[in-house]
Chains A and B, each alone.
Chain A
Amino acid sequence: MSRLYVARNPRVAARSLDGEMMIMSGRDSTLFTLNKTATILWQSADGTTPLDEIVEHRIVSEFQVEAAEALQDAETLARELASHEILQISEEPFPQRNNAAGESRSGESR
């Protein structure tokens, strides 16, 4: 099975509000809030770390779930976020971006 890579869509706006991630779609300004799992996925979506590694290192340990099931759920979630143009997904790593919006942080406030 091929690996899946996820990257934050540089066209969205994002900010963490007390741990809850707000994302505004660049397509139509629809506002979304991400649940805890989706927030972890968003924060980890650097375009170069495969989804299975994100699940293994960030989700399985956090939620104490079985790895295969967690990966399947994460893939479904990634595809849903991609359908809203919040994430981009690919079977190849994303090239390192050098345009301004492409270098974006994850929207975390400190």
Chain B
Amino acid sequence: MSALMQEMSAKALKLNIPLSVQIDLTYRCNERCVHCYLDHHDHGEMTTAEITHLLDEMADAGVFILTLSGGEIFLRKDFFELLEHARRLMFCVKLKTNAVLIREREAARLRDLGVDSIQISIYSHRAEVHDAITLIPGSLKRSLDAIRFLKSQGLKVTIANVLMTQNAQDYPGVRALAAELGVECTLDPTVTPMMDGDRGVLNLGADQNMLRQVFRDTSLVGDVEEFCAIPAKPGEDDLDATPCSAGHTACYVSPYGEVFPCVQFPLPTGNVRQQRFVDIWRHSEQMNDVRSIRLKDLTTCPSCTHVSNCTRCPGLAYLEGNMRGPSSQDCGKSYARTGVPSANMLAKERAGINPLQGNSGSASLVQIRVLPVVTSATA
């Protein structure tokens, strides 16, 4: 994040403005990825009119960065109508897609509409691995063709590479492919429990050995010694910090109008079909509860060695039953990085529980973003 964007985020936090919102336009999808947490059925998606009205409300509330995701966004027949409306309102629009439905014409339209960036899921540089994850033969070729169409229009593309047991050894190949295509690449071994509560998919997630390997890959983390160092003891200021931007400057809206602090934090705070977006944002009891949490208020983490640089996700903690509790996935991540068990892991060990097991059997999680190249200026 650029220094100027950090400054703007700090200002938005102070003013209680939702600077960044993700809307999932649909949960329907044309791929059937083995690790996906969605059910892909339409349970009554917001209509075109409902979404355009929501976009109006969000612009008025001060939302600047709008991420449109799904499901597969291009399955909405009104997708370009919604995008046109969003750009008319001058949102900075980012898209997340598998890109299977993007051909030359769609790429040109995205350029004409001034889309900021497009994130595309690529699981492997090898078709037999990628297509075995999406369960759609030919899907890698379609997605890579789309990347070339988008690049030929001068659009900014990022490959999102989810790291799982099935493709664990392929991330260097995906990164090489990204370099060849001239696009950025992110690595994300996040596997989320399914919407219906089924946590079986978590077995597909990266294990400790994979995490250790990734954390010691200089091409991803830079200085390994620094990245894997045991953190210094936290100061008072560290413990007064907020856990993340969810509910503070960012939130998520589902295809059914439900508002959550984040796509990975399914705490219901209201529905835009019944209330104005800004009223949910400002006055929801649940949203304000999330906002009130400081690191010092957490149940186990304040005494943990890792507290000052842990990537604890409050949404994953919520999915384990307590948004003020630890996120076992992130404990696993800190452990893989430093070799030092977290306070949560030590407590579990004393209780005779597998220290890396989440309260509901969750898997390890790590999120790494590489190649963040952003500049800033003031006119």
Contact = CB atoms under 8 A, between A and B. Distances in A.
A33 B378 contact: yes
Interface in B357-378: 374-378
Contacts of A17: 8, 11-12, 15, 17, 19, 62, 64
Contacts of B62: 15-17, 109
Contacts of B379: 23, 32-35, 38, 80-81, 84, 86
A13 interface: yes
A47 interface: no
Given A18-B15, A86-B379, A109-B62, A13 B4 contact: no
A50 interface: no
Given A13-B93, A84-B379, A31 B5 contact: yes
A32 B85 contact: no
A100 B113 contact: yes
Interface in A17-39: 17-18, 20, 22-24, 26, 28-35, 38
Nearest to B84: A100
* Contact count band on B: 35 or more
A110 interface: yes
Nearest to A16: B62
Contact of B2 (A15, A31, A81, A110): A31
A29 B117 contact: yes
A10 B11 contact: no
A109 B59 contact: yes
Given A18-B17, A30-B375, A31-B8, 20 more contacts: A10-B87, A12-B114, A13-B91, A13-B93, A15-B91, A17-B19, A24-B92, A29-B156, A30-B377, A31-B2, A31-B4, A33-B379, A100-B83, A100-B88, A101-B87, A104-B90, A105-B88, A107-B90, A109-B61, A109-B62
Contacts of B88: 100-101, 103-105
A110 B375 CA distance: 29
Interface of B: 2, 4-5, 8, 11-12, 15, 17, 19, 59-64, 83-85, 87-93, 112-114, 116-117, 156, 374-379
A105 B90 contact: yes
Contacts of B59: 15, 105, 109
Contacts of A23: 379
Contacts of A81: 379
Contacts of A20: 11
A14 interface: yes
A99 interface: yes
A12 B116 CA distance: 9
Contacts of B15: 17-18
Nearest to A21: B379
Interface residues of A, number: 37
Interface in A80-110: 80-81, 84, 86, 99-101, 103-107, 109-110
Nearest to A27: B154
A20 to B, nearest CB: 8
B60 A110 contact: yes
A32 B89 contact: no
A9 to B, nearest CB: 9
Nearest to A83: B379
Interface in A34-55: 34-35, 38
A94 to B, nearest CB: 17
A100 B90 CA distance: 10
B116 to A, nearest CB: 6
Nearest to B376: A31
B116 A13 contact: yes
B8, B92, B116 interface centre (most CB from chain A within 10 Å): B92
B90 A13 contact: yes
Given A100-B113, A104-B90, A15 B377 contact: no
Contact of B112 (A14, A16, A99, A104): A99
9 contacts: A13-B91, A15-B90, A24-B92, A31-B377, A33-B4, A33-B379, A100-B83, A105-B89, A109-B60
Q: Which 8 A-B pairs have the closest CB atoms?
A: A100-B84, A13-B92, A15-B64, A11-B114, A107-B90, A101-B87, A109-B62, A14-B90
Nearest to B109: A100
Nearest to B81: A100
A24, A81, A84, A106 interface centre (most CB from chain B within 10 Å): A24
B114 A10 contact: yes
